Chains A and B, each alone.
Chain A
Amino acid sequence: MTETVQIEESDSWLEAFEALEHAEKDSPTWLIPFRKAGLAQYAKTGLPTLRDEDWRFTNIDPIRKTAFRPTFAPAILEAAVLDGIPYPFKTGNAARLVFLDGHFQKDLSDMSKLPQNVTSISMRDAVAREDLRLDQHLGQYTYHHDNPFAALNAAFFQDGFYLNIPKNLQIETPLHIIHLSSGNDAQASFARFFIRAGEFSKCTILESHHALSEGIYLNAPTTEFVVENEANIEHIKIQDESKQAFHIASVYAQVGRAAQFRSHYLDMGGRISRNNIRTKLNGEGLECVLNGLYLADGDQLSDNHMIVDHSKPHCDSHEYFNGILDDKARGVFHGRILVQQIAQKTDAKQTNKNLLLSDDATADTKPQLEIYADDVKCTHGATIGQLDDEAIYYLRTRGVPKAVAQRMLVHAFAGEIIDRIHHNVIREELDEMVWTRLEKFAHFQNVTTT
């Protein structure tokens, strides 16, 4: 294990960048400016503090205090190591893309199940391919002023994946992005994923993050979705990092007319984790669903921060986030629905529910509506509470023991989110995963039969 040295934050990132700039002398001409823009944005704000409105519930001091180093040298992973990881959909039929510390692992990946006319290529290779014109696409819909981690990703990403699904292609086989972190202390990964779904195309994308060891590392991936008119994307992101690690993911989606974008989030690992989700609803009559479940115990903090930007009329958006928190865990939800003046007939709904299983668990929730159109239907709501005693009593009068009744209610609470996943097999596996994880909570270890 590497030693964690405490130095000024700016030093480590800026120093690392100099080395990168030097190493990339021969890179495409647009890349260094692209990186520099990210770095400049980062340099302007530094890492966020509690004074930043968008980060006021999430204290990232533990990240600030660690001198993280980006992973430049791609390591190679043995197949046997992958086999030992309990990643979801293991036996399912999927095209698998494996990454280690942000670097594509060609030998462990299997793209043979993707149709021929899909462009699927590692980000490292895509950047070098002039015909893909990444300079015109990458970062087109991202912005970093409120998210220094995404800025750092732009500055430091080394690899990741580029996927372009052509018009009309409906891919039945899910695509599974498996991101592994070696788990070395102070190691930082910045994978970059770019996924474009052409008109009328359809695809299920499973993205899961796992650790090979329990170190203090940072994983800060950025995923860009371009969902063209009438396309249908179901995205399921699972975060099962080390309990010592930091996971700050940035997801940007640009959604076109009559398209469907369903993006699900299951957060289980990480000492501090955050999904920073930005969706721009950029065509009429589309549907966008952001649906998340976070499970946290110990001193974990799980944060979901999203802005849904309604910039065209007749769009539906729904954000549902449920958190189950035990011990001293903290849940943070910040959801903003922005309805632009032209976005009449918007139908937007946002709910955040937190279930506290211990007296020390806390949740901060801030659902927000910002509406400039006058003919819209928007609702939001948030709850923070314990298990419903009335419901437990009712179940017990029917002979269901207390411990079983509690599990039923917690399961039901998690089920509200899990049930929204369309893909049957993945949904069922996630249900299992969630349950296995919950059974480890102190709350369920302690409940007696009475």
Chain B
Amino acid sequence: MSNKSLLRINNLQAGVEGRAILKGINLEINAGEVHAIMGPNGSGKSTLASVIAGREGYEILGGEIEFRGEDLMDMEADERAHLGLFLAFQYPVEIPGVNTTYFLKSAINETRKARGEKELDAVEFLKFIKSKAKLLDLPEDFLKRSLNVGFSGGEKKRNEIFQMAALEPVMAVLDETDSGLDIDALKVVANGVNQLRGPESAQLVITHYQRLLDYIVPDVVHVLHDGRIIKTGPKELAHELEDKGYDWVIKEAEQPA
């Protein structure tokens, strides 16, 4: 059960328009683990998340990504989702006219269909999402509203976690889901994530702040800088980064070995 590798990234290099952003990422996440990635602005955290999730428009210059033993590179974003991958966006997209309930029903049932499971009917579906919505303390009417439209920053982030809870992914990547949240909302979000924790699943949490990691306690902390993971350590590393910033890690990494 433990040490079962869920995500294996090997020497991943990616960029846009000829410019390298990820310059050789190595990362292995096992079932049951929570990893955190921290790093300065522009270091490539969101790019890594996007490449894992299957966003088009990035040139893959080299390396591999394997998820649950399957090569992700040739898979579309929706196929990756069906395999159990979820990305909570740093900036969730507003989609006018697409009703949240309608969208979620399609997302859940398409996923179930792809997995060979029976689709939920209207009654089952409503019962299911109402129970998930309760967890996230979202505004009453949000299920009836257009996806993310008119949501505050915090509501959007909670909506991401709500969708995650509803889709029950094997592996969730959270890109700065904590930014813009007050402490109560932060607890709600952390609770949502912790509910998913288990021996068969894993989470990759991208954040700038230790504060989230007080609630979602990571097993491993990585520092990403200029497209490379320059340091990996235990959860205490996050405290150290919060206190001392990144400069010392960057200096340390630049020392010739």
Cβ-neighbour of A412 out of B53, B87, B95, B104 (below 8 A): B95
Size bracket, chain B contacts:
20 to 34
Considering only CB atoms, which chain A residue lies closest to B79 in the complex? Answer: A450
Query: 8 Å CB contacts to B: which residues of A389-421?
Result: 389-391, 393-402, 404-405, 408-409, 411-413, 415-416
Residues of A within 8 Å of B188, CB to CB, are none
CB-based nearest A residue for B75: A450
Mark B111-141 against chain A: 1 for CB-CB distance below 8 A, else 0: 1001000000000000000000000000000
Prevailing SS type, chain A contact patch: helix
Does B56 interact with chain A (Cβ within 8 Å)?
yes
Question: Quick one: which of B133-153 are within 8 Å of A by CB?
Answer: 146
Task: Assess whether B56 is in contact with A399, with CB atoms less than 8 Å apart.
Answer: no
Contacts of B92 in A (CB 8 A): 394
Known contacts A389-B56, A393-B77, A450-B76; is-contact A398 B96 (Cβ 8 Å): no
A412–B106 contact, CB under 8 A?
no
Q: Say which size band chain A's interface belongs to.
A: 20 to 34
- The answer to whether A400 and B107 have CB atoms under 8 Å apart is yes
Provide the bound-state CA to CA distance between A331 and B163, in Å: 38
Q: Determine how close the nearest CB of chain A comes to the CB of B47; give it in whole angstroms.
A: 14
Contact A396 B78 (CB under 8 A): yes
CA distance A393 to B110 in the complex (A): 15
Compute how far the CA of A69 lies from the CA of B107 in the bound complex, rounded to whole angstroms: 55
Question: What is the bound-complex CA distance between A396 and B55, given in angstroms?
Answer: 9
- The answer to whether B81 touches A397 (Cβ under 8 A) is yes
**B93 adjacent to A390 (CB under 8 Å):** yes
Q: Are A397 and B95 in contact (CB under 8 A)?
A: no
Contact: B97 with A393, CB < 8 Å?
no
Which A residues are CB-close (under 8 A) to B96?
412, 416
> Which chain A residues border B102 with CB–CB below 8 Å?
408
How far apart are the CA atoms of A218 and B87 in the complex, in Å?
Answer: 54
CB-based contact A399/B78 at 8 Å: yes
- Contact at B167–A398, with CB atoms within 8 Å? yes
Nearest CB on B from A411, distance (A): 7
Closest CB of chain B to A293's CB: distance in Å?
A: 13
- Out of B56, B89, B110, B146, which one reaches A400, CB within 8 Å? B110
Most buried by B among A398, A412, A416: A398
Chain A residues packing against B (C-beta within 8 Å): 388-391, 393-402, 404-405, 408-409, 411-413, 415-416, 450
List the 3 closest A-B pairs by CB distance, nearest first. Answer: A412-B97, A399-B81, A396-B77
Q: Can you sample 17 A-B contacts with CB below 8 Å?
A: A393-B77, A395-B103, A396-B76, A396-B77, A397-B81, A397-B87, A399-B78, A399-B108, A400-B78, A404-B106, A408-B95, A408-B106, A409-B95, A412-B97, A413-B97, A416-B96, A450-B79
9 further A-B contacts with Cβ under 8 Å, apart from A394-B92, A399-B114, are A390-B93, A396-B76, A396-B77, A397-B87, A400-B78, A401-B78, A404-B110, A412-B97, A412-B98
